[in-house]
Structure 1
Amino acid sequence: MQQRRGIFVFLIALFLLVLGFGCEGTPKDDSRAATKASIEWNLKHDEALAAAKEAGKPAIIDFTASWCAPCQQLERETFSDPKVIEALQRFATIRVDGSGDMEAVEPFMERHEVVAFPTVVFVDSKGNTMAEPRVTDFVPPAELLLMLDKAK
């Protein structure tokens, strides 16, 4: 009886092991990830602003850093939202990354009166930095969408 019980437990364990390997090899549904839209951030700050002004297009400038928790939350939750991505199509999207050489980005930060990360600055279609709206912490997608509506 004890031997049968041992064999039964062994077979159950073997079945679960095989099932586990089988599930790991199952392809995941990456079709959504492959077609998921994303924001195309321009890292050439001055060139992008000049092009936006010439085209009469407003701009949004995301001042971010890899070590900044609210910055990463903005990226993960707000800038990945399909409605936000769609709304940003009418903007020149510019990203200033303060993760590395701060000396390189400080002049641009000073020009737009940015003192901390995250900061999202709006620039009107004439190239003027707008005092409002301005993001200085995490904002959910719905709140950013309201700000995008105000920025012309």
Structure 2
Amino acid sequence: MKNVLIAIVVLGIIAFLYYRNNPKVDFKEDTVDGIHFQKGNWQQALDLAKKENKVVFLDIYATWCGPCKQLKKYTFADKSAGDFFNTNFVNMALDGEQEEGAVLAQKFGIEAYPTLMFVTPEGELITKSPGFRTASDLINLGQQILDTRN
């Protein structure tokens, strides 16, 4: 009986830690002050980037991915990241395991989630960066992209 009780407590602690580190995140919902991601398809994002003479910032994620959830909840929700990316880029986020996202993940050779990419309005890859980034790291990466294009 004592072993059963200990097992239940241990499982409860594991479940608590898992859900604390993997928050429930709605990938389709925009943040209030952070980065706003375009609705629509990839071609529409490229067309908008051409029209506005901007680079596309593309987040390829998976719904089960812990670091993807952390990016969405913290980095993409950051006001300074939102101000910078909403001004300088056309932002798009796609599930790398669904429909158009899966096609792009294969095209760009995505090997891990999340992968953050910068793409020209013509659809050419500028750079890709797998893994989690803080808001300041992401802004620095975006600034490097802008600096190389000017």
> Which interval holds the TM-score relative to the shorter structure?
0.5 to 0.7
What is the aligned-residue identity percentage? Answer: 26
Deviating 4+ runs (over 6 angstroms):
none
Q: Does 1:135 align with 2:126?
A: no
- Tell me the distance in 1 between the aligned counterparts of 2:101 and 2:83: 28
Q: Number of aligned pairs?
A: 114
Counterpart for residue 92 of structure 1: 90
User: 1:135 is matched by which residue type in structure 2?
Assistant: S
Aligned-partner SS, 2:91: strand
Query: Could you say what the CA RMSD is over the residues aligned between the two structures, in angstroms?
Result: 2.2
Over alpha carbons, which structure has the higher Rg? 1
- Contact kept, 8 Å, 2:81 with 2:138, in 1: the verdict is yes
Q: Which ranges of structure 2 fall in alignment gaps of 5 or more residues? A: 1-31
Aligned-partner SS, 2:131: coil
- Contact kept, 8 Å, 1:112 with 1:121, in 2: the verdict is no
1:44-97 CA-to-partner distances (Å, cap 9, x unmatched) read: 112211221233111100001220000001111111111100011221001111
Aligned-partner SS, 2:84: helix
Q: Does 1:109 align with 2:105?
A: yes
Counterpart for residue 33 of structure 2: 37
Q: CA deviation at 1:107?
A: 1.8
Q: Which ranges of structure 1 fall in alignment gaps of 5 or more residues? A: 1-35
- Contact kept, 8 Å, 1:112 with 1:129, in 2: the verdict is yes
User: 2:45 is matched by which residue type in structure 1?
Assistant: A
1:91-138 CA-to-partner distances (Å, cap 9, x unmatched) read: 10011113xx6354322112222222100101135543113xx32111
- Distance change in 2, residues 1:148/1:138 (3 Å): same
Counterpart for residue 82 of structure 1: 79
Aligned equivalent of 2:143, options 137, 141, 149: 149
- Tell me the distance in 2 between the aligned counterparts of 1:59 and 1:88: 10
User: 1:86 is matched by which residue type in structure 2?
Assistant: D
- Distance change in 2, residues 1:86/1:103 (3 Å): closer
